[in-house]
Amino acid sequence: MKLTKYTINAIFSMFVFCFFSIGSHSAVISGETIFGKVVSIADGDTLTVLNKENHEVRIRLVGIDCPEKSQAFGGRAKRLLSEKVFGHNVRVETRGQDNFQRTLGVIRFADLDINEYLIMEGVAWHYKKYASTQPPEEAKRYANAEQSAKAAKRGLWAQDNPTPPWEFRAQKNKNSKSSETN
């Protein structure tokens, strides 16, 4: 194959584009701390922070799972997170990345653990499936926060039998697959 000047320029342009795209969304090292302003709230457990390098970093709050948007208390979870941190500078204690390339992290605002706060307010579950990846003291605090919210019937715990979001998603996926085969 003969490489023409046009082909070389096209390859070089693609390389430069890829290099800068990757650079602006570089992988976050677990244990790194990000300081930035919350510029977007996607749902109760996902937000975007504009870091000091002016890059947007999508954060999935680790150790918790909030109801889906279409689920009872999904809107309330998003609203509560927004009221607490939107437009504010926060500290994110990172824990790596998830399968969707979101940075996993604990959000801290004025020394308040926002992840734990959402559990205490009854708009999030402690995501016990991943508790073994949390520091033991944190996992215990999150579990205790959930028990406290349940006992007080705060938020979603006022319902008789709230559906955890992981079960809601599984059912939604199951229904979606069965309707595709019909």
Sign of the torsion angle spanned by Cα atoms 99, 131, 116, 155: positive
Residues, the chain, total? 182
Distance of CA 75 to the CA centre of its chain: 15
Residues that are catalytic: 60, 68, 102
* Vertex 83: Cα angle to 81 and 87 (nearest 5): 95
Helix (H) or strand (E) holding 177: helix 165-181
Structure tokens given for 128: 């016990």
